[in-house]
Amino acid sequence: MTRSKARGFLSTINVVPYVDVTLVLLVIFMITAPLLTQGVVVNLPDVVADPIDAALDDPLILSVDKTGMFYLNFGGSADEPLDDEALLERAAAIVRRNAETPIFVRGDEDAAHGKVMHGVSLLRQAGATQVVFAVEPPPP
């Protein structure tokens, strides 16, 4: 009896499952990455302030123009520029009335970054806990 040649074990790696998993992860990251860059949310500490009557459903919008002037959509004319004290008083009264009031910051693209951040700092002093930076979507 002749013994046939013994076959050894085949020691190769099957890479097809690894490629499948890699492609699935790539698709997941491609879908979720644009969703993470839609806006910036900043959580701020609470500060106590005096309340005023304001519409509870409307958001508080702080606008900063290119010259660095502040505007609020509550308390007087929305076209009236405010100094730091007036902004702090109005924002504090609104936040004190309803701590859940949504707050948006709209900064002109030519406004100094420091001036916009100073406005956010005033909102923090007024008691804002969440501030959202409003941005325009890019043109298609």
Task: Output the pLDDT for position 135.
Answer: 67
Domain membership flag for residue 34: no
pLDDT(11) > 80? no
Domain membership flag for residue 2: no
Domain membership flag for residue 59: yes
Please state the domain count of the chain: 1
Domain membership flag for residue 119: yes
Domain hosting 71: range is: 41-133
- Over the stretch 19-39, which tens digit does the pLDDT of each residue have? 999 999 999 988 887 766 543
Q: What is the CATH number of the domain that holds 95?
A: 3.30.420.270
Name which of 18-32, 43-57, 68-82 the model is least confident about: 43-57
Count Cβ neighbours within 10 Å for each residue of 97-136 and write b for 16 or more, e otherwise. Answer: beeebebebbbeeebeeebbebbbebbbbbbbbebeeeee
Domain membership flag for residue 30: no
Domain membership flag for residue 29: no
pTM greater than 0.85 (yes/no):
no
Task: Output the pLDDT for position 55.
Answer: 45
Domain membership flag for residue 36: no
